[in-house]
Amino acid sequence: MTKSVFLLVLLLCPFHVLAQQSSTQISPASSTVVVLGTFDPATQGQSSRSVVALDTNHPPLLQDVEDYLRTDSSVDIEQRGTAGVQADISIRGGSFEQTLVLVNGLRINDAETSHFDLDLPVPLEALSAIDVLHGAGSTLYGSDALAGVVDFLSAKPETDVLHLRSGLGSFGENQQGFVGSLANRKWSQTVAGSRDFSTGFIADRDYRTADGSSESWLTSPLGETDILLAGSDRPFGAARFYGEYPSWERTKGWFASLDQHFDPETETALAYRRHSDIFVLLRDDPDFYKNQHIDESWQGALRRKQPLFHAATLYFGLEENTDQIQSNNLGRHGRNRDAGYLDLDLARSHLPLPFTLTIGLREELLSGGQHVLSPDLAGSLSLRPSLKLRSSAGYGFRLPTYTDLYYSDPTTIGDPNLKPESAWNFDGGLDWYPSGRTTASATVFYSRQNDTIDYVRAAPTDPWQASNLDRVRFTGIETSLTLHPTATQEIRLGWSALSGAQNALHGLQSEYIFNYPVNNSSFEWTDTLKRQLVVRTRVTVTERYHQAPYPVWDLSLSRLAGRLHPYLQLTNLSNTGYQEIPGIPMPPRALLGGVEIVLRKETQRADFR
């Protein structure tokens, strides 16, 4: 902890001088638009849920979506590999399987195992924002939204532009990326791709990742049509990922979606996802133990918004979800889910104390005749224009993955009789916007889980057994502070604390649930010097349950002016030896440098400048 305090002091030193650079007024933080937690986009100042909006329009300062998510101290990223190879995401202490992941509001959670939920087929270059909802979201989004929801968002381009990027770094890293956009009144297009290669910082931790996407927006008499096609390929060394073995793994993903807005009130969406996974236990002897899995998912939705009277809107719709798997280990299985929902939103802005109220209900029918009812209640009260109280209560649930149900090897055993897990989530918070330059937020939350799915064992020599646990409870607090001392600077401070009841184990060892951070803090500073050089630094300090705290310091720089944008990224400058998942070491200090070329179409001419 002493090292982390020193780093914070060191980084805070320049602020007094830099704060004198500019006094230009910036946009109010409360006006940031979020799309999670409500059926219609709303500003953070209006939202009654705890939602964080992350702007990803800052490449090449950050290279992975995991780096953006670490900005939120309530989000815990547990990585096995870097460069998007494999990472688990946890929110408010929930397991990695209890977070729903979306792309443009459509599900991409993996039916085989939630270890692949962040196996995004869409390159970072094609994304414009990431929204994170803290707490249950099953009323809006269905299964898996038990502890939180993460939505990766693209955006319709506004100008013709081409970005080309290439870089080299430590451990043989070699990366390239591009994104090109054409903007037209009736037709727009974005094409993006990326490739990243590394020999690995230790033996059998090499990787080669590739992603590509094409998104088209068409305007016709039917309305606006959004078509997304994306794919990924990730072969990587998986040493120690699932035990003390020099393993190897390769995953491939395909995603296609069609979103049709007929009018401002009516929308329909269709999506298809296919994901394959080849796992070899011993890389030098592939025939010793090998698993091959292919899972497919289909989803469809019809959504309608109906204004009722002044400041009251009813949202309702129908959804269908189907998934199946073919596997040499798990077998052949499939299941269906049908759902219908109603949501009533009230907003009274003309009263002395303006308020919002949301009442929602979702009925989900599962294969075999089971059904799940997911209610939700959220509200906010503005005590003054700069001060808002909010609270919410909601029910979330998750169906077991096929790995939870059917997987079997000498170290891990599934259970086909597992029950779906569920949780009631309650929170209350305060948002403060004293000026356009300052935003502060604090939230207290409580999660009461039932039939929590985890892998447990009685002794280290026993295999991990999938089981339902009772009496898993989490209580915590999350806080954030965002400051803009000048028009070019942003300072973000975050801290979350979490306490869980451990009596659910009855003396057993847990593989996943109790790896949560009891304290997680972050400090981030970004500034644009002389409107050309962007500097970004971040220090995080994480203390996991029954483990010592560890700091990680990252620094990145990039030039913005002109066509050529050289960049430099230094990760783990503190050279901390740490593990986000027990037994899997993370990389030491590393450097990555490169250049981005930006070609934009001038407004007065058709050629590129």
Q: Is the pLDDT of residue 1 over 50?
A: no
608 found inside a domain: no
Task: Return the pLDDT at 25.
Answer: 35
Give residue 504's pLDDT. 67
Residue 83: predicted pLDDT? 75
* Contact between residue 586 and residue 578 where contact means Cβ atoms under 8 Å apart: yes
Residue 223 located in a structural domain: yes
Give how many domains the chain has, as a whole number.
1
Evaluate if pTM is beyond 0.75.
Answer: yes
Query: How much is the average pLDDT of 376-397?
Result: 92
Q: List phi, psi (to 5°) of 291.
A: -120, 140
pLDDT of residue 11: 38
Q: What's residue 58's pLDDT?
A: 67
pLDDT at 57 (0 to 100): 77
pLDDT of residue 40: 67
Q: What is the rounded distance in angstroms from the CA atom of residue 278 to the CA atom of residue 8?
A: 43
Which comes out higher in pLDDT, residue 167 or 37? 167
Distances (CA, A) of 386 to 354, 489, 543: 12, 22, 33
Each residue of 24-46: pLDDT tens digit? 333 445 556 666 666 666 666 67
Q: Which residue is it, tokens 């960049």? A: 567
In a domain? residue 605: no
Report how far apart, in Å, the C-alpha atoms of 356 and of each of 125, 127, 381, 519 are.
36, 30, 7, 32
Q: Which of the listed ranges 18-22, 30-34, 471-475, 589-593 does the model predict with the highest average pLDDT?
A: 589-593
Provide the CB-side half-sphere exposure for 138 (13 A, CA).
27
For the chain, give the number of residues: 609
CB atoms within 10 A of CB 480: 22
Share the mean pLDDT of the chain.
87
Say if CB 44 and CB 194 are below 8 A apart: no
CATH of the domain at 429: 2.40.170.20
93-104 b/e (C-beta count within 10 Å ≥ 16 → b): bbbbbbbbbbbb
Token pair listed for 306:
């109906």
Using CA atoms, how far apart are residues 470 and 450, in angstroms rounded to an integer? 6
In 264-385, beta strands by DSSP E: 266-280, 290-309, 312-327, 331-348, 355-366, 371-384
What integer pLDDT is reported at residue 226 of this predicted model?
96
Q: Which residues of 562-571 are buried (b: 16+ CB within 10 A; e: fewer)?
A: eeebebbbbb
Is the residue at 350 inside a domain? yes
Measured CA to CA, the distance from residue 547 to residue 420 in angstroms comes to 30
Q: Residue 446 falls within a domain, yes or no?
A: yes
CB 398 within 8 A of CB 146: yes
Question: Which of 86, 407, 410 has its CA nearest to residue 239?
Answer: 86
β-pairing, 161-169 with 590-600? antiparallel
- Phi then psi for 549, rounded to 5 degrees? -70, 150
607 falls within a domain: no
User: Exposed, middle or buried by CB within 10 Å (0-12, 13-18, 19+), for 239?
Assistant: buried
Average pLDDT over residues 291-310: 93
Percent of the chain with pLDDT over 70: 90
Residue 254 has a pLDDT of 96
- What is the SS3 assignment for 519? strand
The C-alpha angle with vertex 92 and arms to 99 and 385, in degrees rounded to 5, equals 105
Q: Which backbone phi and psi does 432 adopt, to 5 degrees?
A: -130, 125
- pLDDT per position as a tens digit, 14-28: 333 333 333 333 344
- Indicate if the pLDDT at residue 449 is higher than 80: yes
Gyration radius of the chain's alpha carbons: 24
Q: pLDDT band at residue 609, thresholds of 50, 70 and 90?
A: very low
Which tens digits make up the pLDDT trace of 304-345? 999 988 789 999 999 999 999 999 999 999 999 999 999 999
Q: How far apart are the first and last CA of the chain?
A: 50
Cβ atoms of residues 207 and 170 within 8 Å: no
Per-residue confidence (pLDDT) for residue 30, from 0 to 100:
55
State which residues form the domain around 93. 2-600
Per-residue model confidence as pLDDT tens digits over 487-529: 889 999 999 999 987 666 777 888 888 889 999 999 999 998 8
148-153 and 509-510 as β-strands: parallel, antiparallel, unpaired?
unpaired
Place of tokens 């990742």: 209
Angle (nearest 5°) at CA 570 between 567 and 575: 175
509-510 and 223-239 strand pairing: unpaired
Q: Is residue 322 part of a domain?
A: yes
Residue 394 lies in a domain: yes
